[in-house]
Structure formats: C-alpha cells, structure tokens
Structure 1
C-alpha cells in the first residue's frame, strides 16, 4: 500500500496533467459555495449548503474519478453527476451536518448558558466523538461514486476502512484539513483549485485501500495455485 507521501506525489502529477478539468469542476462546485459564503444570511447559507454542498462534491469526485481512470470530463459531466447522485449525497450531507451541529450547539450552550465543568467535559467528549465520526467518513463519497453504492452502504464501507486502517485514515484526514486551511487563505485558490485537487487525492487514497486486499489475494493464489 502506498504511503501518504507517495500519494501526494502521485496526486500532484495527476493534477498537473488534468489542470483544466480541475479548474472546471472547482468552478462548478464554487457556484454552489459562493452564494452561501458571500450573499446569503447565515441561516439561509447553512440551509443552502446542507442542500447542495455534498451533492456538488459528489459530482466533482465522479468527474475526477472518470478522468484519472482514463476517461474525459467537463462541466457538463459535473451537472449530470450532480443530478445523478443528488438524493444519495443529500442524505449523506444531512448526516454530516448533524455531526457538525451537535458539538457546535453543545459548545454554544456551554459558553452562553451553562459554563459548568460537567458541561465542559461533555462538550469535549461530544466533539471527540463527532470528529472521529467525520474522520471515519473520509471514504464515503469516493466509494459512492467509484462503486455506485447506496448512501448507508458507502458510509458503512467507509467506517470499515477506517477501523481497518485508523492511522492511515487519520493522516489522510489531517492532510485534508491542512490543504483546506491553506487554500482558504487565498479566496481565488480556494474556489478555483481546492475541491478538484482534494478529490484526486482522496480518490487515490481510497483506491489505494481497495487495491490492497486484491493484491493480497493475488499473491496468495500465486503461492497456492490449488487454493490450499
């Protein structure tokens, strides 16, 4: 299985080769993010992102999965995949939003209503659980588009990968957060590159995990041609 550093090198090469597609799908994704960030009031922005962000992200992953496997992709494919995966990705998005809102609401309660030591500990514990759950969902959208799975099938498979490779997944999650934070410092870089670059990296990481059992099986069959 490739290390995170080798995945980064592989991803960088693929981003360079497919830079125009990366730009195209990132712009398509930004069409859904830009209004929520700059135009809508906070309650409407949260609702709009809950409705569209994960389906738009799934569409980006679907296009880039097609491209890195030798196909072609463009903005028309982005909107086609947005419609195709909307229902399943929307359900995933609602669950992920809840996983974010639970600790946020708990911390709001602690800071504004009851700042007791017990509530503080409960807030820390809830934050840890929700962060762990979010980390366990790193592979959900890639699996959704790579294997055309249903919502809960993809989430369940992602959890299984997380449990089988916890440190690999945590390293991947840290890389995701780091890239997001760095690119968010540049508005242009974030809206033009972020999701396209990130999707290639996560797709490669997921493919890396999926190939590992197959390589082990092939090696076993070569060593035991009679299945013994």
Structure 2
C-alpha cells in the first residue's frame, strides 16, 4: 500500500471511529454528519466520499457478512449440503457472542451498543434488512449457478432455499437483540443462540437436508460456468 492509499485508509478509519463514538454516546439519529466531519477535521463532502450514506458509517464494519457467508458455502466439502455450511457458519463460536461468553466485558459493551443503536433507529433497521436481503439474493444466485448436480439449478428453488436459510439468521438476530436489550443472561447468550439455531436448522433439514449437496471438488463458479 502506497503512502497515498495509507493516508486515505487512515482518514477513513478516523471518520468511522469518531462516528461510532458519537453514535454510541447520543444515538444514530441524533448525530449529524457535519458534526462527525468537524471532529475529524475534514469537510462534510470528504465524509460522503468515504461513506456515501450516513448508515454506511456504522455498517462499514458489518457489511462483510455476505462475503463471509458465501465463502463458507463455497468451501464446504464434498458430501456437505448448503444447509450444513450455513448452519456451521451461523452457529459457530466466533465473534462478539463468543467473547461475551468468555467473560469479555468490553465485548458485551460493544454488543449492547450496536444493538441499541440499531433498535433505536428506523434508518439503521431498514439498512439491516437491506443487508440481509442483499446477502439472501447473493446466496440464491450462487446456489443457482453451482456447476453439475450440486444443487437444483432453477432460480426459484434456489431463492426459496436461500430465504429459508437466511430466515434462521433473521430470527437469531431478533433473539440476540431482545436478550441484549433486556440484559438477560448475556453469559448464556452464545450457547442459547447455538441451541436454538441448531433446532431451527433441524426443522429445515427435513426439507433441505438433501439440497445443494456437493458432489465434486470445491470450485467457485466463475464467468461462463
């Protein structure tokens, strides 16, 4: 990374850090982009150059979910269904929930802060739903494009499967948010998410267990595949 690119990345990180601090202190909707720009010593136009929408200031750190989900689906081994891959990805012991379960108080503060900000802002809730919708659409496209007989290739079936799988994700987000905002047994939250997610996927498994079973070595669909 050259000096110019490094400076741009440092500016982007500074703006995002200031935005998160102000959002956490006062709530997302109460903070104006002009205030963030002033504290970062940049122009408001500069903020929008890095973050086209105000919501991007928060979701820039959360938007890699879809890419990580697709990577988990792409890397599933032969004989594994897409349900297996998504279940493992969503119920794995990683991220803030795992840190909270391990007794990390700072992680608990971050988890509460994020969910309180989103719960308190219609704009952030709308952006959250759009992020999930985008991930669902991308997953459906990936399933429909898989080579060979790894999945049924019609678009409707792939879209139905993707929505069913991502429905579990939506439900688990709601579970976490309710529990975090109620301050209910945070040390048990990760275990409860895994348990309830496992039961939800077991329910889907009656209909989706045989869908998207990989029958050839891992290959990521490319152009022309």
TM range (shorter): under 0.3
Normalized per residue, the structure richer in helix is 1
TM-score, length of structure 1 as denominator length? 0.27
